[in-house]
């Protein structure tokens, strides 16, 4: 199956916050405070990837305080050298060129998500901008296991809505036009880097799939997927010989299955399915592209072997009892794998697995400073909704807690995403400060079948919010917390949920922390990035159409801004000034509405950030104020703010932070 690199995850939403006061440094029972910097500062090493030829280990690590790409011989991982020299913006996504001669990475400017592609020669260290355009974001369309000197990329420098396909020569950097795109959401290529499938959204929110022959799209789609299946059904990739196409497919069933389609006959064969959860990613043979295992994540992620090719390997890794494991890169020879183990109550570690020798060698621990820290377990729980659904959720409680404690309801972004089991820095941080932490996969969360996703259609601020209230009720009934000591916190959709909680259910929470959350759904949809054009109709179907009177009325009714006068509890808002997804105006609007009514609010803006906070100094600063705010609201403990704000670019544009501290031209509050 062809490798396609996704960069959307680079813009990960940060769940952080802002405000006042510092408290004790030990919990009852003598649990020491974990320093913020150990949880949210730069990792020692992260993002390890093996080169295809198996000779090198690439990873991301600090260089002069900024995350850069490093390389080391795979048999001498401590003999590492930096390959890039970014001075301001951390590198968070990179990949190996197929010939193992270059590292390719993407980066944007100040969080604007205009991700450009760069290449760095492994031998000389020379760096080249491979997509030297303005206001452009790159996509990787196709890579090959047999063609090593070029890849296919998509760039939207001609029309910001659509990505034209270009062939990129890795040796020279030359771009050769392959396909002019005037309306296709994406493409799928085979191992020969031939475009085989074009994806086109329909006005009714369905998706059509067309064959591409000699870079020309056929007039009639070979497969049509209706809206009900569109979010769960898509082709995944071809085997190396191009004869088999793998699909993630929910047609005729609720959860997504893994299917193989014979391209000569059109016949489908089911490779894997699960009644409780969608089938996730597959492990494919690097040479043949044949799926050898797939994953299913209900409460926890599990690998399911297909045949015997990797069955023994998966059993061996599971038997190590080192915690949850994830398989990363595999060499072309498939003799070495990179494996990460996550024990939850200790920091994760990354290992080299030599398949032939049946041996594991530890390479690094991303957050070695957390070795010996008082980390706590995470529990997977099922929470019922008032209308009969069940929500897979994750609960973390303070170390040694046997009675009710204050709680933070930590709401994930998306909302078409999900929370998962594993080490979570925010869970550990908040539990260490004395709070139970609950993350809920409310309706619209992905991974649990299409019906669960669609149960959230047009339910922003209604049934989706009811689910969060039901989760709080569940926690109160089970003695996890008390009703008057619950805060709500989240980023992106989680920020919206925070605003909805404090406006639409103003007495349900003691306080709220909104990070890059939309306050006005009408203006949110009017300002989405132009390259989201392909998914726009589906968003309208799920949220409300701003182009119709009915849709406008619905969006206004579900917008927290409409009810800003109802806010009675402390609210903290954080925003990146360059956010292309949730424009800074979303936070500006509700802050202005609150100030006009003399409702207190603290508002912090980072001028060099976008949809979340990528720079550790900014993330630490926001979390410093957040934990002091929560200590004042819920009565937990906090590490003093100290110099965290001064070390960041934070601008306090409303309210005040302890001591009146501001940074980088910020005002003292108003």
Known active-site residue 492: yes
Is residue 643 within 8 A of residue 649, CB to CB? The reply is: no
**Do residues 25 and 33 touch, judged by C-beta distance below 8 A?**
yes
Could you tell me which residues are beta bridge partners of residue 511? 487
Taking the C-alpha atoms of residue 501 and residue 469, their distance in angstroms, rounded to an integer, is 9
DSSP string, 292-306: EEEEEESSSEEEEES
- Give yes or no for a contact between 170 and 149, defined as CB atoms under 8 angstroms apart: yes
Residue 611 annotated in active site: yes
DSSP 640-656: --TTTTTTS--EEEES-
- Distance (Å, whole) CA 369 – CA 35: 10
Tokens 């009565």 map to which residue?
A: 635
CA–CA separation, 240 and 56 (whole Å): 24
Closest CA to 468 of 517, 419, 409: 409
Catalytic residue among 164, 514, 579, 608: 579
**Reduced to 3 states, what is the DSSP secondary structure of residue 286?**
coil
CA distance 408 to 404: 13
Summary count for the chain: helices (H), strands (E): 12, 37
Tell me the two tokens of residue 467: 């689910």
Closest CA to 205 of 222, 236, 181, 229: 229
DSSP state of 600: -
Which of 424, 326, 340 minimizes the C-alpha distance to 378?
424
Beta carbons of 62 and 69 less than 8 angstroms apart: no
Kindly state the tokens that stand for 144: 């090959």
Element (H, E) at 540: helix 536-543
Is the CB of residue 519 less than 8 Å from the CB of residue 573? Answer: no
Q: What angle do CA 591, 594, 600 make, to 5 degrees?
A: 95
Residue tagged active-site, from 492, 519, 559, 648: 492
Q: Which helix (H) or strand (E) holds 49?
A: strand 46-50
- What is the Cα–Cα distance from 508 to 505, expressed in whole angstroms? 6
Residues that are catalytic: 492, 579, 611
């Amino acid at each position: 199956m062809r490798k396609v690199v996704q960069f959307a995850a680079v813009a990960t939403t940060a769940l952080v916050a802002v405000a006042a006061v510092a408290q004790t440094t030990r919990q009852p029972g003598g649990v020491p405070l974990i320093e913020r910097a150990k949880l949210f500062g730069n990792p020692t090493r992260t993002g390890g990837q093996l080169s295809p030829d198996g000779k090198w280990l690439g990873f991301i690590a600090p260089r002069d305080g900024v995350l850069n790409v490093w390389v080391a011989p795979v048999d001498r991982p401590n003999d590492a050298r930096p390959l890039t020299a970014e001075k301001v913006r951390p590198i968070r996504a990179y990949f190996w060129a197929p010939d193992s001669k270059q590292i390719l990475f993407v980066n944007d400017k100040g969080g604007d998500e205009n991700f450009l592609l760069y290449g760095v020669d492994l031998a000389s260290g020379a760096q080249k901008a491979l997509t030297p355009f303005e206001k452009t974001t790159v996509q990787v369309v196709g890579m090959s296991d047999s063609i090593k000197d070029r890849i296919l990329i998509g760039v939207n420098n001609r029309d910001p809505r659509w990505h034209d396909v270009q062939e990129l020569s890795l040796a020279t950097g030359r771009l050769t036009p392959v396909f002019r795109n005037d309306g296709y959401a994406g493409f799928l290529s085979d191992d020969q880097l031939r475009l085989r499938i074009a994806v086109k959204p329909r006005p009714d929110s369905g998706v059509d799939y067309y064959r591409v022959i000699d870079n020309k799209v056929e007039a009639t789609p070979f497969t049509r997927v209706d809206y009900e299946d569109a979010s769960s059904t898509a082709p995944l990739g071809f085997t190396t010989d191009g004869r088999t196409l793998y699909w993630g497919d929910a047609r005729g069933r609720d959860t997504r299955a893994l299917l193989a389609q014979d391209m000569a006959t059109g016949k489908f064969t089911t490779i894997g399915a699960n009644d409780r959860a969608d089938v996730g990613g597959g492990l494919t043979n690097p040479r043949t592209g044949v799926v050898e295992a797939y994953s299913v994540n209900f409460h926890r992620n599990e690998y399911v072997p297909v045949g015997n090719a990797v069955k023994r390997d998966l059993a061996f890794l599971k038997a190590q009892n080192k915690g949850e494991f994830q398989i990363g890169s595999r060499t072309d020879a498939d003799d070495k794998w990179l494996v990460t183990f996550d024990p939850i109550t200790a920091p994760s570690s990354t290992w080299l697995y030599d398949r032939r020798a049946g041996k594991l060698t530890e390479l690094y621990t991303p957050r070695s400073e957390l070795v010996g820290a008082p980390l706590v377990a995470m529990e997977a729980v099922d929470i019922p909704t008032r209308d009969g659904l069940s929500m897979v959720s994750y609960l973390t409680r303070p170390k040694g807690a046997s009675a009710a404690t204050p709680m933070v309801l930590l709401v994930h972004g998306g909302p078409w995403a999900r929370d998962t089991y594993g080490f979570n820095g925010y869970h550990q941080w908040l539990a260490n400060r004395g709070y139970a932490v609950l993350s809920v996969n409310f309706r619209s969360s992905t991974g649990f079948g299409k019906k669960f996703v669609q149960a959230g259609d047009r339910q922003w601020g209604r049934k989706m919010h009811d689910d969060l209230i039901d989760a709080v009720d569940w926690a109160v009934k089970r003695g996890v917390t008390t009703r008057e000591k619950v805060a709500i916190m989240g980023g992106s959709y989680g920020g919206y949920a925070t605003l909805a909680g404090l406006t639409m259910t103003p007495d349900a929470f003691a306080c709220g922390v909104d990070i890059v959350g939309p306050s006005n759904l009408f203006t949110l949809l009017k300002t989405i990035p132009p390259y989201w054009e392909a998914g726009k109709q589906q968003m309208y179907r799920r949220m409300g159409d701003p182009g119709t009177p009915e849709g406008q009325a619905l969006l206004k009714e579900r917008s927290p801004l409409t009810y800003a006068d109802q806010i009675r509890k402390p609210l903290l808002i954080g925003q990146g000034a360059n956010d292309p997804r949730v424009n800074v105006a979303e936070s500006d609007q509700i802050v202005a509405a609150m100030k006009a009514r003399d409702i207190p609010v603290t508002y912090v803006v980072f001028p060099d950030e976008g949809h979340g906070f990528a720079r550790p100094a900014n993330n630490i600063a926001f979390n410093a104020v957040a934990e002091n705010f929560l200590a004042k609201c819920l009565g937990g403990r906090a590490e003093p703010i100290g110099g965290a704000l001064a070390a960041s670019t934070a601008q306090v544009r409303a309210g005040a932070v302890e001591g009146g501290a501001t940074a980088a031209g910020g005002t003292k509050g108003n």
